[in-house]
Amino acid sequence: MKVATDANPNLERRATLLFFTFAQGKDQIIALGAADYTASAPEFEAGQPVVRPVLGGTGKYIGARGQVTSTRSDDGSYTQVFTLLK
């Protein structure tokens, strides 16, 4: 979405579309949002939560609204926390 610039050469903003599936794919949640990344890094910084809006869902999540907070650990794993207003 926004590439690194001369004024800020180590920072860029990237959009991410996330798909979460449950119950063998019958229930899904879709989220989309933007976060700042170090220009040379494939993932965002560990320990810094990124909040993205939930666009909707299927199955038991039909009509879902809210947000998902993603936090990357130092070992490369992620914790996803959903706050849904359904």
| Domain segments of the chain as ranges | 11-84
* Residue ranges of the chain whose pLDDT lies below 50: none
Q: Which residues contact 68 (CB under 8 A, 6 or more apart)?
A: 18, 20, 29, 31, 51, 52, 54, 80, 81, 82, 83
Cα–Cα separations (whole angstroms), residue 47 to 6, 7, 19, 61, 76: 27, 25, 22, 28, 10
Record the pTM. Answer: 0.81
pLDDT at 1: 60
Q: How far is CA 68 from CA 11, 38, 85, in A?
A: 23, 21, 11
Predicted confidence at residue 4, as pLDDT, reads: 62
Strand ranges, E, within 23-77: 27-38, 50-58, 66-72
